[in-house]
Structure 1
């Protein structure tokens, strides 16, 4: 039992508040918070209302304790970690702390998350720097990915390389440790966007060797939404400033990044309960279950769409709990079309899926989570082909 909720495999769907009439196959988008974690967050929220002055007075120590707990889970130095609202906020903090100026550039790959690109573009507009994108083939090997990204670096001009550990639009695992090592040899700082890593994969952040690493715990680690961890290498910590100043500014990193006055800190304080749920279920078992389901969904839906196994993109590791498959030509080829399609699929097929537009083609993204079952992917496979034919 966790927070009065039976956390076990035999009744796992009851541990979430999801609509039972909908197949929720896109956990990677917003996550789904277990009921036990919802209760833990509400308990903290209620506590804060009993004596707000005392609650906020005690918060810095409680936040620091939570930070140490979450950093330990991720293999990150607690002294170099800071809790932030999400990966995009973490990237914005890093970008505005770099001191970019005219002639500098920020390098991204074409697998990057859209909001991260927007964040880099905004900071470059403000400072006179530029954003450049390097294309990485979807079927490139790890060595090819590393070589492609490394060759695109321009030492002395490239002030930051942003690379995904698991890409959102293409569900691809990148060899970030190899990329970070190659960039370090060229004295180019690296920010790893690890939005999907915590909870999905076992990770040792410090072993990656990146200058900056930021990942969400509210996707695959069962934390309430608004929980992420930013890890910063020692030689950068004194330069990291928050996006807004607070009374903790003089305290230094990480407190000055974390403390934002009357921010709602309950997601962070409830996040350890999410890890407790994960460990109670068995982290290895959860990961294996989720990865197997995502692979199964890719196979059965792909077969229903007439795709051969060779046409199904390899995510770069069998451990990933997200997979993509190409949609028929002409479907969701633009960002706007890809944004609209999931709502119609949910309405007509009772399934929540991800739809991406990448490299001039539409892609369907499927996830696996403990509350999913094979029959949900089977039902989607049965109904999706006719639905897509109706779009054309």
Structure 2
């Protein structure tokens, strides 16, 4: 592995955010960070709503949501007529699951890299319907071709009713070849749902280029939208079957309006989301992506060195544009969900650093992200202070 150097900072980018300067925010991937300009745009929308709630909700709000949806769909390379705004990716997954009408004997297939809340949603729907769920084991170091072979072997045509796979995994920061996986699923007649929670804003791949039956992605992580902004994209054969989690007044309008309209929900995050995309484009989309990925790679190397991890043993995310990286923690540390949560909280409290800590495959993993408001010294300071904290166990 070549020597990793930090990228040049993007001038003025840190000033776009209202983050606490006393804390190193190295975990953008969990909840994102909303630029000040986007916050102000949303507040203006809230002011408009509170000045006359009846007018706000009844005078063209559906049309404003539709306009916003089309703008965001264009940014993602998705069909706007097959795109619905939803609060988050997990909600989109739940919508798909309850629309499938699963029954006893059906199976929902996943991988062991899946997001925990999605796994809980799948388990609940299987309990309700009598279906079962099964996870494919995918080694962290598996090549794309090896992953495709695992999928080919693991699919059960006629029984597997849905295959849920992450575009970029949350616990392991691994980019999976979802377009090729979707092709394998199609060959076997198995519908595929791509959980792309981290893709919008970070990854350049377009939704239509993947060819999934269902695709969900958050814009409140890497696309600078207010929290509560995500999309569910549905292929044409499935659109008439999609039902909302809650029925409201746009039910007879069909998809996507029947999913989007949830009566008195706060729609201001969605309406302000295009300002986040504008901010991203103003900084330079490729520039931001390159900076963030390079900074995350630098942070991984610095922390790996501090923990005694050989560069060759640092996981490769599988793509140069990934702005999340993981570092293995020493054996015996954060090997359970509760222990991982505890360690994350101790790092935040004692070191004033926000990171993600996950337990996966019997080992604890530290995940760091790169974002335009971060700088190389933040990772370097963590590299100095983390080993003594871990030694205190």
Q: TM class, shorter-chain normalised?
A: over 0.9
Corresponding residue of 1:247: 249
Q: Post-superposition shift, 1:203?
A: 2.2
How is 1:1-392 mapped onto 2 (pairs within 5 angstroms)? 9-57=10-58, 58-391=60-393
In 1, the alpha carbon distance for the partners of 2:152 and 2:87 equals 30
Shift of 1:11: 2.3
Q: Which secondary structure does the structure 2 equivalent of 1:348 belong to?
A: helix
Deviation of 1:181 after TM superposition, in Å, equals 0.4
Residues paired across the two proteins, number = 384
Instruction: Give CA deviations for 1:86-111 in whole Å, capped at 9, x if unaligned.
Output: 00000000000001000000000000
Task: Tell me how far 1:343 sits from its aligned partner.
Answer: 1.2
**Helix, strand or coil for the counterpart of 2:392?**
helix
> 1:117 and 1:125 mapped to 2: Cα distance?
12
SS at match of 1:82: strand
User: Secondary structure at the residue paired with 1:70?
Assistant: helix
Instruction: Give unpaired runs (5+ residues) of structure 2.
Output: 1-8
Deviating beyond 3 angstroms after TM superposition, the runs of 4 or more aligned structure 1 residues are: none
TM-score (norm 2): 0.97
Deviation of 1:350 (Å)? 1.4
Deviation (angstroms), 1:207: 1.1
Q: State whether residues 165 and 194 of structure 2, in contact with CA within 8 Å, keep that contact through their aligned partners in structure 1.
A: yes
Q: State the 1:347 CA deviation.
A: 1.2
Contact 2:151/2:184 (8 A) holds in 1 = no
Question: For residues 126 and 360 of structure 2, what CA distance do their matches in structure 1 show?
Answer: 23
1:2-38 Cα deviation digits (max 9, x unpaired): xxxxxx9432222111110111000000001011000
Deviations 1:186-215 (A, max 9, x none): 100000000000001112101101000000
Query: Helix, strand or coil for the counterpart of 2:94?
Result: helix
Shift, 1:161, TM fit? 0.1
Task: Please provide the CA RMSD for this pair.
Answer: 0.8
Q: Matches of 2:65 and 2:228 in 1, distance apart?
A: 14
Q: Distance in 1 between matches of 2:154 and 2:11?
A: 50
Q: Secondary structure of 1:32's partner?
A: coil
- Alpha-carbon distance in structure 2 between the residues aligned to 1:42 and 1:226: 15
Q: Residue deviations 1:326-350, cap 9 Å, x none?
A: 0001100001111111111011111
1:9 to 1:318, Cα distance in 2 relative to 1, 3 A: closer
Deviations 1:298-320 (A, max 9, x none): 00110011110111000001110
